[in-house]
C-alpha cells in the first residue's frame, strides 16, 4: 500500500519526475512547451502556486506551494495527460514516467531560496547553455522582466525573496548544494523544529486519502457538479438524460462534457467514471477522450 504524501495545505515542495529508465521524454521543443502549458493550465485549475520550474530532456523540476491541498491531484494530472500525449505522438507502450513523482518538503526562508536556485541551475549543470537566461524551458525569464505579460509562476513572490535581479544573478553564480533529511514521513529540507511541526500539521489533516476518494461529487470545492451540468445543458440546448452516446453527436457532446468536468469542476477520472455517461469506459480511455476533446 502506498504511503500518503508528506504534505499539508500551504507546504512548499520540490517535486520532480524523470523518464522511465531515464529515457528522454521531452525530445522536442514542442513537447517541452506542451508540458509547460500543462503546468500553467492545471496549476490555475487546481489552485497550486508555482514558484519555479525547469524542463529538461529526460526529467523536470518544479518548486510549488500546495496552496489548495491538491498536490497529488495536480501531479497526477500533468503526468497522466503528458504520458497520453507522448504515447500518442511517439508510439510505444508502458510507462512514460518513472513510477511516482519525487517530493521534498521545504522550509521557507533560506531553504526555499536554495531549492529555487538549485532548480534554475539545472541547464548549467547539464552544460546545455553557458548563460542560464538562454534556456527557454525554465521560469528564469519570468523574474524581474517588466516586458513579460503572462506568468506561470508567482514571480512577485520570488522577486521579493531576492529583492533585485543582481541579487538573483549573484546567487546563481554561487555553488549550490542541496541538503535533504530523511524523516519517517519523507524527504525534507529544513531544521528539526520545522520537521516536528510539519508532522503535526500532516497528522491533523481533516481527511485521509481514503476519505477524500469517497467524497461526494457535489461536495467538490470547485464548481458543483449539478451547476456544471445545468450550464452545459443550457449552452448546448440538450438534456443529457436523453443523450444517445452511440451516435456521433452523442459522442461529441460527451467529450465536451468531460472537458467541462475536468477543467471547470476539477473532477478526477475515477469520479467521472462513476457517472452514467462514462461507466462503460476504462480510465485510460477517459484520458484519451479528454485529450481529443
CATH architecture, domain 12-203: 2-Layer Sandwich (3.30)
Whole-model pTM? 0.72
What is d(CA 110, CA 116) in angstroms, rounded to the nearest whole number?
10
Q: Report pLDDT for 98.
A: 85
Mean per-residue pLDDT for 58-62? 97
pLDDT in tens, 218-227: 444 455 678 8
pLDDT in tens, 148-184: 888 999 999 999 999 999 999 999 999 888 888 878 7
Cell of 7: 504534505
Closest residue by Cα to residue 168 from 205, 190, 140: 140
Where residue 192 falls among pLDDT bands split at 50, 70, 90? confident
- Say if residue 280's pLDDT is above 80: yes
Where does CATH 3.30.70.1290 sit in the chain?
12-203
- Say if residue 211's pLDDT is above 60: no
Mean per-residue pLDDT for 3-26? 90
Question: Under a CB-based contact definition with an 8 Å cutoff, are residues 63 and 119 in contact?
Answer: yes
49 sits in which H/E element: strand 49-55
SS3 154: coil
Give the number of residues written for the chain.
293
- Say if residue 39's pLDDT is above 90: yes
Q: What is the DSSP string of 180-230?
A: -EEETTEEEES-HHHHHHHHHHHHT-SS-HHHHHH--GGG-SSS-HHHHHH
Mean pLDDT score of the chain: 86
Comparing 4-8, 130-134, 138-142, which segment has the lowest mean pLDDT?
4-8
pLDDT in tens, 217-269: 444 445 567 888 888 888 888 888 888 888 988 888 998 898 888 766 767 77
Amino acid at each position: 500500500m502506498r504511503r500518503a504524501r508528506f504534505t499539508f495545505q500551504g507546504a512548499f515542495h520540490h517535486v520532480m519526475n524523470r523518464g522511465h529508465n531515464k529515457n528522454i521524454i521531452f525530445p522536442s521543443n514542442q513537447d517541452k512547451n506542451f508540458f509547460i502549458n500543462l503546468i500553467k493550465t492545471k496549476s490555475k485549475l487546481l489552485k497550486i502556486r508555482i514558484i519555479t520550474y525547469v524542463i529538461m530532456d529526460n526529467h523536470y523540476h518544479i518548486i510549488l506551494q500546495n496552496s489548495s491541498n491538491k498536490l497529488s491531484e495536480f501531479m497526477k494530472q500533468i503526468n497522466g495527460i503528458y504520458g497520453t500525449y507522448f504515447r500518442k505522438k511517439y508510439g510505444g507502450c508502458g510507462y512514460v514516467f518513472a513510477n511516482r513523482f519525487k517530493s521534498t518538503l521545504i522550509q521557507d526562508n533560506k531553504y526555499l531560496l536554495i531549492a529555487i536556485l538549485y532548480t534554475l541551475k539545472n541547464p548549467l549543470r547539464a552544460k546545455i547553455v553557458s548563460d542560464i537566461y538562454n534556456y527557454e524551458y525554465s521560469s528564469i525569464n519570468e523574474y524581474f522582466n517588466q516586458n513579460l505579460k503572462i506568468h506561470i509562476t508567482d514571480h512577485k513572490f520570488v522577486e521579493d525573496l531576492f529583492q533585485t535581479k543582481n541579487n538573483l544573478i549573484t546567487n546563481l553564480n554561487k555553488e549550490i548544494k542541496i541538503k535533504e533529511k530523511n524523516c519517517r514521513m519523507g524527504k525534507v529540507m529544513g531544521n528539526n523544529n520545522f520537521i516536528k511541526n510539519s508532522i503535526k500539521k500532516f497528522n491533523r489533516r481533516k481527511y485521509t486519502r481514503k476519505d477524500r476518494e469517497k467524497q461526494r461529487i457535489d461536495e467538490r470545492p470547485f464548481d458543483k457538479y449539478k451547476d456544471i451540468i445545468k450550464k452545459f445543458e443550457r449552452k448546448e440546448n440538450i438534456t443529457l438524460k436523453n443523450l444517445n452516446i452511440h451516435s456521433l453527436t452523442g459522442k461529441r457532446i460527451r467529450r465536451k462534457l468531460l472537458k467541462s468536468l475536468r477543467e471547470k469542476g476539477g473532477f478526477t477520472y475515477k469520479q467521472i467514471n462513476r457517472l452514467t455517461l462514462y461507466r462503460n469506459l476504462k480510465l485510460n480511455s477517459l484520458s484519451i477522450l479528454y485529450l481529443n476533446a
